[in-house]
């Protein structure tokens, strides 16, 4: 993202006066959630403040916890260490995986839809840290229970901290265990959303230009 | 900037308003509905400008510069910036030497993050009651809970009042265990000249945007007295592949806000003092107690009710509180309960699933208790008899607004008859008998 664009986004959010993730009037986090669900064609999004927070949420969302084992594509050393810290054992590197994973950066952000096209796991972890605004990630899913569990892991909520939940509202089957604050800042969310939007616009412009470009041979002939 | 000042400034209070009928009974409101909104945090053009400048620096430098500036302000030895208050508390515990299966003594009255950070460190929270005057960890209760597996005391400077650090320090030293502060409410709070966050072997502090010292959304910081503790925390993150990194966006906002923190501290202290004087006059209400030599940061302002002072001592104190609460809210004062049940009675500590399959509670079953609210009588008594103001004292709460809050308490305290009538009409229950609430 250009410095000017980042400046514009940061100024817009700051002048709104809403920089807190549990503020009812925050529009930035829901905005990024909508964009990610649209791009990935998943119905639910959980925004988190780190890649490891998202991995944790993807697993906890499926009820996978300490002492359990999962199938995963062979994790890198850092991820393997984190899974060990969670107490989760990777037992096979083939078969249906617990989560699919992609990391976005400025070079591939325009291809989010394409990158996730083959993802089939119940949870999709998208690492947004590479876009340059600090640790940020998301879990995308079509499973409402996975989403609910991941939200509870993230915000100390048996229901929803944005409304200062009461436990009466909790689904009795969704017992909260350990809870973290994995919440993402609305300021960071706004910048990430702008980066993803611009990447998509760039891709669209390139596609349009390619469609209207004269055949390469005609130029060569004229020269 | 639209966020520098309230859109609709309040006029100064009119003394005649105090003689009006209570708003709940059809009279005029001390603060009309259209003028009730308070903004927080304060965001100025300087904050915007500083974020613009931060874009031109390396992200790591923006975060490191923020951490160093705030470490110096607090006077701690070492600082580790993190993504949240919870992660900072986790790192403080790890740095202080807490290991899986260890017991950490925490107060039953706090935000749930204190105890969840202990679980994050794969350790076991052991809950104790609070002091009846300060509402911070009771050193005698903590002493009674120490076992051979206790690794740390974790007092909370709750609402911004430093805990009894001298007594807790002596207790920790006597048993060779660590003192780890939860300073999440206590930005700029002091005992003598020392600032909260620098008292213990380690400390964690939330810097989320609803705290007295807000970052741009979410953030936290862990402090350590010794380099060895800091290095232990850093190595733990690396060894376990955990990303608790702070965003440069949040850090840049924090660096900008830090410059104005002492000014905001003064406004909060002024507002607290002004309201405190008014409450003392009422008889029914008293402000938070502040021991000599302590500086309260007033992230929250817990007001105690004394029904006997206005002839209501034949009624249950919780019912008097509920009725007064209803009347205050009708006048435009956004008082609240902020917690209604001891933390060990919340679902995560009743079920104790932890990271899954009962871990880490399964490491030390002897430390685990099935708690009932009645196990913490001081906490229950406090929940029965107190109300809380949160943002209502913080800048940019203007002078006119704090005067009106004071008037609202005066107006309600003058009407024990209305309180009695409400108690007779309503079916109030004790706070812990309602669904557990965090806020």
Q: For residue B2, what pLDDT is reported? A: 47
- If phi > 0 it is left, if psi is from -120 to 50 it is alpha, else beta; for residue B192 that is left
Task: Measure the N-to-C terminal CA separation of chain B; round to a whole number of Å.
Answer: 30
pLDDT digits (tens, 9 = 90+) for B421-437: 999 999 999 999 988 88
Residue B414, pLDDT > 50, answer yes
- Mutation pick from B37, B42, B59, B83 vs chain A, by most beta carbons of A within 10 Å, is B83
Q: For residue A28, what pLDDT is reported? A: 95
Share of chain A above pLDDT 70, in %: 89
Chain B residue closest to A12 (CA)? Answer: B48
> Which residue among B51, B240, B246 sits closest to A10, beta carbon to beta carbon?
B51
- Would an 8 Å CB–CB cutoff place B439 in contact with chain A? yes
Residues of A within 8 A of B243 (CB-CB) are: 50-53, 129, 135
Q: Do A3 and B55 touch (CB under 8 A)?
A: yes
Q: For residue A161, what pLDDT is reported? A: 61
CA distances from A128 to A108, A109, A125, A136, B377 (A): 11, 9, 9, 5, 47
Mean pLDDT of B378-390: 97
* Pairing mode of beta strands B78-82, A123-127: unpaired
Chain B residue closest to A184 (CA)? Answer: B218
Mean pLDDT of B146-167: 98
* Pairing mode of beta strands A137-141, A44-48: antiparallel
- Mutation pick from A127, A177, A190 vs chain B, by most beta carbons of B within 10 Å, is A177
Residue A160, pLDDT > 70, answer no
CA A137 distance to own-chain centroid: 4
- Mutation pick from B218, B238, B240 vs chain A, by most beta carbons of A within 10 Å, is B218
Q: Do A52 and B112 touch (CB under 8 A)?
A: no
What pTM was estimated for this model as a whole?
Answer: 0.95
Which of A47-51, A211-215, B56-60 shows the lowest per-residue confidence on average (mean pLDDT)?
A: A211-215
Q: For residue B309, what pLDDT is reported? A: 98
**What single DSSP character describes residue A75?**
P
Share of chain B above pLDDT 70, in %: 98
Q: How many residues does chain B have?
A: 439
Helix locations, A160-215, DSSP H:
186-212
- pLDDT bracket for residue A221 (50, 70, 90): very low
Give chain B's mean pLDDT: 95
Q: Do B357 and A60 touch (CB under 8 A)?
A: no
pLDDT digits (tens, 9 = 90+) for B16-45: 999 999 999 999 999 999 888 888 898 999
- Omega cis (within 30) before B360: yes
At CA B409, angle to CA B403 and CA B410, rounded to 5?
85
Q: For residue B5, what pLDDT is reported? A: 63
Mean pLDDT of B77-97: 98
Helix locations, chain A, DSSP H:
3-16, 28-40, 51-60, 77-86, 112-115, 144-155, 186-212, 216-222
Residue A100 burial (CB < 10 Å; 0-12/13-18/19+)? Answer: buried
Which of A203-217, B2-16, B346-360, B380-394 shows the lowest per-residue confidence on average (mean pLDDT)?
A: A203-217
> Which residue among B1, B83, B353 sits closest to A135, beta carbon to beta carbon?
B83
Q: For residue A53, what pLDDT is reported? A: 98
Mean pLDDT of B321-343: 96
Mean pLDDT of A168-180: 79
Residue A166, pLDDT > 80, answer no
Residue B314, pLDDT > 60, answer yes
- pLDDT bracket for residue A220 (50, 70, 90): very low
Better-predicted residue by pLDDT, A172 or B378: B378
Q: For residue A20, what pLDDT is reported? A: 86
Please, which residues bridge with residue A69 across strands? A89
Q: For residue B161, what pLDDT is reported? A: 98
Buried b (16+ CB within 10 A) or exposed e, B216-250: bbbbbbbbbbeeebbebbbebbeebbbbbbbbbbb
Q: Do B356 and A177 touch (CB under 8 A)?
A: yes
Q: Which of residues 143-182 of B touch A (CB under 8 A)?
A: none
Q: Do A15 and B437 touch (CB under 8 A)?
A: no
Q: For residue A55, what pLDDT is reported? A: 98
- Would an 8 Å CB–CB cutoff place B390 in contact with chain A? no
Residues of B within 8 A of A10 (CB-CB) are: 48, 51-52, 249
- Would an 8 Å CB–CB cutoff place B27 in contact with chain A? no
Structure tokens at B174: 């006597």
Mean pLDDT of B78-91: 98
Which of A19-23, B165-169, B406-410 shows the lowest per-residue confidence on average (mean pLDDT)?
A: A19-23
pLDDT digits (tens, 9 = 90+) for B240-283: 999 999 999 999 999 999 999 999 999 999 999 999 999 999 99
- pLDDT bracket for residue B193 (50, 70, 90): very high
Residues of A within 8 A of B218 (CB-CB) are: 21, 49, 181, 183-185
> Which residue among B2, B55, B351 sits closest to A175, beta carbon to beta carbon?
B351
- Omega cis (within 30) before B352: no
pLDDT digits (tens, 9 = 90+) for A24-39: 889 999 999 999 999 9
CA distance B330 to chain A (A): 21
Q: Which helix (H) or strand (E) holds B319?
A: helix B317-331
Q: Around Cβ B167, how many Cβ atoms within 10 Å?
A: 17
Residue A158, pLDDT > 80, answer no
Contact A138, A48 (CB under 8 A): yes
- Would an 8 Å CB–CB cutoff place B218 in contact with chain A? yes
Q: For residue A222, what pLDDT is reported? A: 35
> Which residue among A65, A78, A134 sits closest to B245, beta carbon to beta carbon?
A134
Q: Do A167 and B348 touch (CB under 8 A)?
A: no
Share of chain A above pLDDT 90, in %: 66
Q: Do A19 and B209 touch (CB under 8 A)?
A: yes
Q: Do A167 and B43 touch (CB under 8 A)?
A: no
CA A186 distance to own-chain centroid: 14
- Mutation pick from B334, B355, B439 vs chain A, by most beta carbons of A within 10 Å, is B355
- pLDDT bracket for residue B3 (50, 70, 90): low
Residues of A within 8 A of B436 (CB-CB) are: 166-167
CA distance A218 to chain B (A): 45
Buried b (16+ CB within 10 A) or exposed e, A150-188: bbbbbbbbbbebeeebbbeebeeeebbbbbbbbbbbbbb
Q: Do B240 and A167 touch (CB under 8 A)?
A: no
How many Cβ pairs closer than 8 A exist between chain A and B?
A: 200
Contact B236, B91 (CB under 8 A): yes
- pLDDT bracket for residue A163 (50, 70, 90): low
Chain A residue closest to B251 (CA)? Answer: A134
- Would an 8 Å CB–CB cutoff place B91 in contact with chain A? no
């Amino acid at each position: 993202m250009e410095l000017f664009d980042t400046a514009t986004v940061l100024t817009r959010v700051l002048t709104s006066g809403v920089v807190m993730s549990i503020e009812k009037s925050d529009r930035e986090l829901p905005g990024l959630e909508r964009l990610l669900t649209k791009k990935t064609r998943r119905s639910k999004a959980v925004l988190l403040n780190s890649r490891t927070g998202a991995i944790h949420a993807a697993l906890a969302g499926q009820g996978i916890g300490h002492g359990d084992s999962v199938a995963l594509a062979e994790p890198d050393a850092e991820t393997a260490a984190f899974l060990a810290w969670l107490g989760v054992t990777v037992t096979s590197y083939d078969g249906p995986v617990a989560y699919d994973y992609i990391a976005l950066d400025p070079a591939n952000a325009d291809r989010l839809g394409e990158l996730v096209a083959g993802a089939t796991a119940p949870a999709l972890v998208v690492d947004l840290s590479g876009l340059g605004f600090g640790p940020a990630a998301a879990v995308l899913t079509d499973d409402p229970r996975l989403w609910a569990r991941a939200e509870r892991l993230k915000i100390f909520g048996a229901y929803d901290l944005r409304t200062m939940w009461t436990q009466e509202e909790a689904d009795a089957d969704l017992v909260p265990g350990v809870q973290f604050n994995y919440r993402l800042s609305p300021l960071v969310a706004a910048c990430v959303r702008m980066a993803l939007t611009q990447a998509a616009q760039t891709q669209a412009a390139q596609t349009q230009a390619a469609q209207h470009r004269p055949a390469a041979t005609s130029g060569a002939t004229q020269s | 900037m639209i966020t520098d000042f309230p859109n609709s400034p309040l006029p100064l209070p009119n003394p005649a308003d105090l003689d009006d009928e209570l708003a709940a009974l059809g009279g005029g409101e001390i603060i009309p509905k259209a003028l009730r909104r308070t903004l927080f945090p304060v965001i100025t053009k300087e904050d915007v400008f500083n974020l613009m400048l931060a874009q031109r620096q390396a992200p790591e430098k923006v975060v490191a510069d923020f951490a160093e500036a705030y470490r110096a302000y607090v006077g701690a030895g070492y600082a580790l910036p993190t993504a949240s208050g919870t992660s900072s508390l986790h790192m403080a515990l790890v740095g202080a030497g807490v290991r899986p299966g260890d017991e950490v003594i925490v107060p039953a009255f706090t935000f749930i993050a204190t105890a969840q950070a202990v679980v994050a460190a794969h350790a076991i929270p052991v809950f104790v009651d609070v002091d009846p005057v300060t509402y911070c960890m009771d050193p005698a209760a903590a002493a009674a809970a120490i076992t051979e597996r206790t690794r740390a005391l974790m007092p909370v400077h709750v609402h911004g009042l430093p805990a009894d650090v001298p007594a807790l320090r002596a207790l920790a030293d006597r048993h060779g265990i660590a003192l780890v502060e939860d300073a999440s409410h206590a930005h700029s709070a002091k005992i003598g000249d020392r600032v909260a966050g620098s008292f213990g072997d380690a400390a964690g502090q939330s810097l989320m945007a609803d705290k007295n010292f807000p970052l741009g959304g979410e953030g936290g910081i862990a402090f350590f007295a010794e380099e060895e503790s800091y290095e232990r925390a850093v190595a733990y993150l690396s060894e376990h592949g955990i990303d608790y990194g702070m965003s440069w966006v949040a850090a840049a906002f924090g660096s900008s806000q830090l410059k104005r923190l002492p000014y905001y501290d003064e406004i909060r202290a002024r507002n607290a003092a002004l309201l405190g004087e008014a409450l003392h006059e009422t008889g029914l209400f008293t402000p938070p107690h502040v021991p000599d030599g302590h500086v309260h940061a007033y992230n929250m302002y817990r007001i105690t009710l004394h029904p006997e002072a206005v002839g209501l001592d034949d009624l249950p104190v919780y019912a008097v509180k509920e009725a007064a609460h209803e009347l205050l809210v009708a006048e435009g004062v956004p008082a609240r309960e902020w917690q209604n049940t001891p933390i060990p009675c919340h679902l995560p500590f009743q079920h104790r699933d932890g990271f899954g399959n009962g871990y880490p509670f399964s490491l030390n079953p002897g430390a685990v208790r099935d708690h009932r609210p009645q196990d913490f009588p001081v906490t229950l008594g406090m929940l029965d008899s107190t109300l809380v103001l949160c943002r209502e004292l913080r800048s940019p709460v203007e002078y006119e607004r704090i005067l009106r809050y004071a008037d609202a308490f005066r107006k309600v305290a003058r009407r024990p008859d209305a309180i009695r009538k409400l108690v007779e009409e309503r079916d109030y229950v004790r706070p812990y008998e309602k669904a557990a609430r965090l806020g």
